[in-house]
Amino acid sequence: MTFNYDLFVIGAGSGGLASAKRAASYGAKVAIAEQDLVGGTCVIRGCIPKKLMVYGSHFPALFRDAAGYGWKIGDAKLDWEYFITSIDQEVRRLSQLHISLLAKAGVEFIPHRATLVDIHTLEVDGRKITADKILIAVGGRPIKPDLPGMEYGITSNDMFHLPSQPKHIAILGAGYIGTEFACIMNGLGSQVTQINRQELILKGFDEDIRRGIQEGMANHGIRIIPNTEVTAVEQISAGLKLNLSGEHEEPVIADRLLVATGRIPNIDGLGLENAGVDVVPGSEEGPGYSTTNAIAVNEYSQTNQPHIFAVGDVTDRLNLTPVAIGEGRAFADSEFGNNRQAFSHQNVPTAVFSTPEAATVGCTEAEARAKVGEAVKIYHTRFRPVYHSLTGQQERITMKLVVDANTDKVLGAHMVGDNAAEIIQGVAIAVKMNATKQDFDATVGIHPTIAEEFVTMR
């Protein structure tokens, strides 16, 4: 059978772009379809615009810290409209850049929605297109719990387009998205209340990381309400009234509500049933909360249909931009580059761009104990960085190594504090290479730095 394309990619996010360009580099005839701006969640409504907001939120603290070093700083005021417009312009510039890179790579870009008709056929803008192989890389989307009044809440998608800065924003959810936006808005000068159904934020991270960030956020003036659920939201003259149950039952009134209770694979309307593609069933997480199905794949990102593949958040494996890119390239290498390989999801570093910042790679302490039992040795330090010797701020750095005492292998590295992501990126190389604590100890530290603590902990 003759096909229109060797590979057709549905979705021009991080995973789709990486796989399309890599496949084309091997000589494959490739097309990619995207109905939105090119770049996916990361470029359009995630990593990039959020990091720009993080940078913007740090300036008030820098102005304040400068006084401790003798600088005289006048009154500073944020121009919200300029701030948001500048971020949007940069997002659109990057989106156009990705389109030009596709053309340079020889990938045909189709600015329309694509849906599956059968295992080799897609419908795009009213016409049928065939492909030998199909890759689904449509990512995920934010979801709101099914609770009264949730229509008054916004999601992370909307945070980059607010027409004005909220005076008081309430945030429902304490994962990395809710936590990062809590810190961003607090840094920009908004009053922030974060509501968490658990005792600590950032479920799944190391316990010391969770406590370190939560303590730092509280010290910066963010109100965190633990062990509490929102039962309903009402619109009143003063803004939005959040009715609560649990440890805290007094309603919260804010002018904006960010609902950051999770993201789900964006599989609706893909036509998976037409091609007989299997999905992994979702699970109920509590009253009003649920997750939806994800596309089921094997270690090579292959679905139950041999010619259909999926990478990135739509598979709900490890939802990080570099992981989607890695999965996409591994797929292209395997199917078009005569180099069969599976992307490893082990020891993937990640960061939370909160204030204080955090980053981690490898096992948490709890995971390590479940893995090797009592043969876990913890190296831990907590200190005030030299930078704050003159600022008067009571900031603290937390650094932690999790070691298998039987082999001396470093199983995990964790940090809370300034530049945590930059530091852990380097440490991740050592962890990925199975470095031992003795290897860390034998490394000479750069003094005076924060990072040197990773090689001086005893």
For residues 262 and 138, is the Cβ–Cβ distance under 8 A? no
Asked if residue 448 has a cis previous peptide bond (ω within 30° of 0), the answer is yes
Strands 127-136 and 5-10: parallel
Residue 22: other Cβ atoms inside 10 A: 22
Alpha-carbon torsion, ordered 27, 32, 37, 41, to 10 deg:
-90
Phi, psi dihedrals of residue 98, rounded to the nearest 5°: -65, -35
Residue 274 corresponds to which tokens in the numbers above?
A: 């037409």
For residues 213 and 358, is the Cβ–Cβ distance under 8 A? yes
Q: Is 231 helix (H, G, I), strand (E, B) or coil?
A: strand
By CB neighbour count within 10 A (0-12 exposed, 13-18 middle, 19+ buried), where does 447 fall? Answer: exposed
Region at 94 (left for phi over 0; alpha for psi -120 to 50; beta for the rest): alpha
Alpha-carbon torsion, ordered 334, 38, 348, 226, to 10 deg:
-140
For residues 54 and 47, is the Cβ–Cβ distance under 8 A? no
Alpha-carbon torsion, ordered 356, 361, 362, 366, to 10 deg:
0
For residues 360 and 424, is the Cβ–Cβ distance under 8 A? yes
Which are the contacts of 455, defined by CB distance < 8 A and separation ≥ 6? 440, 441, 443, 444, 445
For residues 324 and 185, is the Cβ–Cβ distance under 8 A? no
Q: Which of 120, 168, 307, 447 is catalytic?
A: 447
Q: Catalytic site residue 168?
A: no
Rg (CA), the chain: 24
Report the alpha-carbon distance of residue 258 to residue 144 in Å, rounded: 10
Report the alpha-carbon distance of residue 319 to residue 257 in Å, rounded: 24
DSSP, residue by residue, 167-213: SEEEEE--SHHHHHHHHHHHHHT-EEEEE-SSSSSSTTS-HHHHHHH
Report the catalytic residues. 447
